[in-house]
Amino acid sequence: MKCFNHYGGYLCLPRSASVIPAPEPPTPSLPESQPEPYQCPLGYKPEGDSCTDIDECERDEHDCQPSQECINTQGSFNCQCPDGYRKVGTECIDIDECRYRYCQHRCVNVPGSFSCQCEPGFQLAGNNRSCIDVDECGMGAPCQHRCYNTYGTFLCRCDQGYELGADGYACNDIDECSYSSFLCQHQCVNEPGKFSCVCPEGYQLLGTRLCQDVNECETGAHECTDAQNCVNIHGGYKCVDTDPCNEPYVQVSDNRCMCPVTNPACHGLPYFIVHRYMSVTSERSVPSDIFQIHATSVYPGANNSFRIRTGDENGDFYIRQINNISAMLVLARAVTGPKEYVLDLEMVSVNLVMSYQSSSALRLSIYVGPHAF
């Protein structure tokens, strides 16, 4: 058998068979002025022998909303919401990013975005979300003296001797002198940030608050003559004569005067007068023991008594007898200087057995200083 190809198959015929093909019908042709159009899928346009994508976004052939962005795709397009928006139906709705706690402190939502804000005393970190502490001290905080940075804020502190003002920044001087009258023995002087104690003339500062009398007689800071003795008193000195005896007394030693019994003018006067000098401060608390009198000569069987013979016309002093040979001079009333007293303190000795009576006196010069301590 012989194989003959046939439309849609083949034929097996004897080898002696022959096939005479029928002539093919003529193919009709279109007029040259009407070529057959090339068909392209939807979203494409013919271009020569091929199809190219139509950019609907560029040709404004889309139905995207004004709030949406048109994105061209092959054969079509998409309507896309801008960043910060989400698509709900055909509309773009702003995303509230603050709902998702993106910010450490405070979040402020804006259309299509958000911003983070920090509490006072903090500033945004480089990631624009976290908040870091601001060092106000290094940025010129308005503290007058010292600044201490703390988390989220700062504190002002003052130097010693100052206190922080109501505004929390300024430092005001503390008037230490107004708090107590015992800061200084004499006078307190307020200074910026501190105080100092000053002493009156004739005194020097001992330590920081006490006043010590200057002994001008020892330092040589006096103007007494050779015929005078220097007597130191509180806040100054006195120049007294080296011969303090007045008629009818005669000097028997530096400060001892005697009235001779052979002199008729000595009748009724103390046999001896011993001169002593002392000083007290003004406004001294009373009663106050200020001077002790002690007999230097005691006769057997004698009864001794003490009294203020002269110089206490106002009754500022009194005598408190301790025993038969000693007594105490007491300041009875507070006195204010400068003032000077000259008291004759007399000891009267009486011997009843021998009917003998004698007396001696101590002439005490008391200088009251002008200052109270």
Query: Quick one: which H or E segment has residue 218?
Result: helix 216-219
**DSSP code string of 193-216:** TEEEEE--TTEEEETTTEEEE--H
Contacts of 300 (CB under 8 A, 6+ apart): none
Distance in angstroms (rounded) separating the CA atoms of residues 324 and 223: 42
Residues 273-307 pLDDT 10s:
999 999 999 999 999 999 999 988 777 778 999 99
**DSSP code string of 316-353:** -EEEEE-SSSEEEEEE-S---SSEEEEEEEEEEEEETT
Q: Which two tokens stand for residue 365?
A: 């010069």
- Return mean pLDDT, the chain: 89
What are 70's strand-pairing partners? 79
Q: Which two tokens stand for residue 349?
A: 């000795």
Q: What are phi and psi of 178, to 5 degrees?
A: -80, -10
The pLDDT score that the predictor gives to residue 30 is 52
CATH of domain 176-213: 2.10.25
The pLDDT score that the predictor gives to residue 28 is 57
Question: Nearest 10 degrees: CA dihedral of 166, 167, 168, 174?
Answer: -40
Cβ atoms of 211 and 229 within 8 Å: the answer is no
Mean pLDDT of 218-236: 93
The pLDDT score that the predictor gives to residue 22 is 64
Contacts of 216 (CB under 8 A, 6+ apart): 202, 222, 230, 232, 236, 237
Split at pLDDT 50, 70, 90, the class of 33 is: low
**Burial (0-12, 13-18, 19+ Cβ within 10 Å), 195:** buried
For 43-49, the CB contacts below 8 A with 24+ separation are 43/74, 43/75, 43/76, 44/75
Same fold for the pair 52-92 and 176-213: yes
Whether residue 82 has pLDDT greater than 90: no
Split at pLDDT 50, 70, 90, the class of 129 is: very high
Question: The domain 96-133 is classified under which CATH number: 3.60.10.10, 2.10.25.10, 3.40.50.2000, 3.30.460.80?
Answer: 2.10.25.10
Structural domain spans, the chain: 52-92, 96-133, 136-173, 176-213, 244-368
Distance in angstroms (rounded) separating the CA atoms of residues 233 and 215: 8
The pLDDT score that the predictor gives to residue 164 is 96
Q: What is the pTM of this model?
A: 0.60
Mean pLDDT of 134-162: 95
The pLDDT score that the predictor gives to residue 4 is 80
Mapped onto helix, strand or coil, the DSSP state of residue 303 is: strand
Contacts of 245 (CB under 8 A, 6+ apart): 251, 257, 273
Mean pLDDT of 158-170: 96
Whether residue 66 has pLDDT greater than 60: yes
Cα radius of gyration (the chain)? 63
Distance in angstroms (rounded) separating the CA atoms of residues 39 and 46: 7
CATH topology of domain 136-173: Laminin (2.10.25)
Architecture of domain 244-368: Sandwich (2.60)
The pLDDT score that the predictor gives to residue 21 is 67
Neighbouring CB atoms inside 10 A of 180's CB total: 9
CATH of domain 52-92: 2.10.25
Best CA proximity match to 82, nearest among 65, 68, 64: 68
User: Lowest mean pLDDT: which of 22-26, 232-236, 312-316, 368-372?
Assistant: 22-26
Whether residue 3 has pLDDT greater than 60: yes
Distance in angstroms (rounded) separating the CA atoms of residues 309 and 342: 11
The pLDDT score that the predictor gives to residue 335 is 94
**Burial (0-12, 13-18, 19+ Cβ within 10 Å), 199:** buried
Mapped onto helix, strand or coil, the DSSP state of residue 217 is: helix
